[in-house]
Each structure stands twice: as structure tokens, then as C-alpha cells.
């Protein structure tokens, strides 16, 4: 929800018509159609044809001429695609990463249940979980892809939870990134692997650790 709030605020400041639309929706004044649904204005709808996946049309509309602009921090930072669930975000991430030029790097996590001496929760099952605030088990990156920090790592140097960055390079155990927002914009940083656990409010009946996960998550 923080990303949605951030993105809509930017659009609202730059587009008075969109700002008025948001206010009408928030106040319950926007006219509805059947089943109490709201019809989106034509100017904010991304149309697609029946011969192409809707996600492909969305990516092309939000990231036009990606090959030519992939190295531009401004181009990447000014754009974002929001998703309601982690699995949808992962699908969009995979499609977007594939469109960046260059070779990809795959980072695999090692997951285990905490205090699970009987190995009741198999690693293969834990690998499939996509809790909030954790990177996926299989993280695919390319140079110049947008990423987001998932924890406070070094706030005094701009490395806070939610910091938006661009991947400028990587090795087996580290990401070389450029911060793109805030007072630390343009600063070059290195993001290590680390052991992470999902928040307690995720609702899992057990605790598990995603070992050696990278601290960052791809941001479509």
C-alpha cells in the first residue's frame, strides 16, 4: 500500500484531472455503473488487443522503448507497475526483466523451518512461499533493472526499507546498486545477502528463515 500511496501522490500533483478523480472516489461522489463499480476514465486506461497478453501491453505502455532507455535512472525511476499480490508482482517482474538487454543472474535462497527438528516443512514447500517483505526464492536480475530495499540496512547512507534503486551490477553474494530517490540519489551502494524471516502477522502457523536471500526485491 505504501507504493500505491507514493505513486498516486506523484500523479495527483502533476495531473489536476486525476487528482479530482481521486477525490471524488474517496468522497464517494464518483458516479458508479452496475454492481456499484466505478468506470475508469479513458485517459488512464491501457487498452489491449485480443492477440496479446494484457500484461505485455501494460509493460509496453509504462516502459516504452526499454532497450534504448534501460540505462537511464530517470526513465526507470519515473515508472512503476503496481500489483495487488506478490505472485502477480513476481509474474510482472519476470516478464519485465526478460525485456532488459543483457544476461540475467539468478539468485536462489535456502529456506528452512525454525525449530523444525523433524523436517516437517520440506524446503521445497518453503521455496514456494511468497510472504510480504521477503524476496522470492528465485530472484532474477539484470543490470539496470529497478529494485527496492526490503529492510533498514544503513539509514544514515540512504539504505532504508523501501529505498528505490537500480541494479548496476552483481556478483554471487552482492548487488551493486545506485540509489535513485531521496537525498542519497545517485549514491553507489552494495547490497549483501542476509538471513530474513517473514513478519509475524503474515499468518503462517510456523516460522521459517529464508537464508542467504538478497536484501533487495525487483520492482516492476
Q: Which three cell numbers stand for residue 12?
A: 495527483
- In the block, cell 521455496 appears at 127
Q: What is the pLDDT of residue 119?
A: 66
Q: Where are the domains of the chain?
A: 15-45, 46-218
Look up residue 16 and give its three cell numbers: 489536476
The predicted pLDDT at position 135 comes to 80
Asked whether residue 129 carries a pLDDT value surpassing 90, the answer given is no
Of the candidate ranges 67-71, 77-81, 84-88, 115-119, the one whose mean pLDDT is the lowest: 115-119
* Count of H-run helices and E-run strands, the chain: 7, 9
Say yes or no to pLDDT of 199 above 90: no
Residue 187 pLDDT > 80, yes or no? Answer: yes
Indicate the DSSP class of residue 181: S
Q: What percent of the chain has pLDDT over 70?
A: 87
- Strand (E) positions, 134-202? 138-141, 146-149, 164-170, 174-179, 188-196
More confident residue, 102 or 11: 102
CA pair distance 152, 133, nearest whole angstrom: 12
How confident is the model at residue 4, as a pLDDT?
35
Q: Kindly indicate the confidence band of residue 137, based on its pLDDT and cuts at 50, 70 and 90.
A: confident
Q: What is the pLDDT of residue 176?
A: 92
Confidence of residue 143 (pLDDT cuts 50, 70, 90): very high
- Mean pLDDT within 96-109: 89
CB 171 within 8 A of CB 189: no
- Tell me what pLDDT residue 201 has: 66
For residues 109-129, average pLDDT: 80
How many whole angstroms separate alpha carbon 159 and alpha carbon 181? 11
Question: Which of 65-79, 114-128, 181-195 is least confident?
Answer: 114-128
Q: What average pLDDT score do residues 69-94 get?
A: 84
Give mean pLDDT, residues 43-71.
85
Q: In whole numbers, what is the pLDDT of the chain averaged over residues?
A: 81
Residue 218: its pLDDT value, please?
55
**Alpha-carbon gap, residue 187 to 32, rounded angstroms:** 46
Rg (CA), the chain: 19
Question: Residue 77: which of 192, 180, 210 has the closest Cα?
Answer: 180
Amino acid at each position: 500500500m505504501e507504493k500505491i500511496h507514493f505513486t498516486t501522490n506523484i500523479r495527483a500533483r502533476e495531473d489536476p484531472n486525476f487528482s479530482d478523480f481521486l477525490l471524488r472516489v474517496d468522497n464517494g461522489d464518483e458516479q458508479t455503473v452496475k454492481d456499484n463499480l466505478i468506470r475508469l476514465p479513458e485517459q488512464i486506461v491501457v487498452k489491449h488487443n485480443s492477440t496479446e497478453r494484457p500484461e505485455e501491453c501494460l509493460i509496453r505502455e509504462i516502459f516504452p522503448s526499454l532497450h534504448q532507455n534501460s540505462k537511464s535512472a530517470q526513465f526507470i525511476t519515473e515508472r512503476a507497475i503496481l500489483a495487488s499480490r506478490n505472485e502477480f508482482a513476481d509474474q510482472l517482474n519476470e516478464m519485465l526483466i526478460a525485456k532488459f538487454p543483457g544476461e540475467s543472474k539468478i539468485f536462489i535462497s535456502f529456506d528452512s523451518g525454525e525449530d523444525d527438528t523433524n523436517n516437517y516443512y520440506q524446503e521445497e514447500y518453503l521455496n514456494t512461499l511468497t510472504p510480504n517483505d521477503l524476496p522470492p526464492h528465485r530472484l532474477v536480475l539484470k543490470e539496470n533493472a529497478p529494485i527496492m530495499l526490503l529492510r533498514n540496512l544503513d539509514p544514515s547512507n540512504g539504505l532504508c526499507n523501501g529505498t528505490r534503486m537500480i541494479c548496476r551490477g552483481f556478483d554471487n553474494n552482492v548487488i551493486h546498486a545506485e540509489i535513485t530517490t531521496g537525498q542519497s540519489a545517485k549514491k553507489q551502494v552494495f547490497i549483501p545477502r542476509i538471513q530474513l524471516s517473514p513478519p509475524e502477522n503474515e499468518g503462517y502457523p510456523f516460522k521459517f528463515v529464508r537464508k542467504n536471500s538478497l536484501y533487495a526485491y525487483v520492482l516492476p
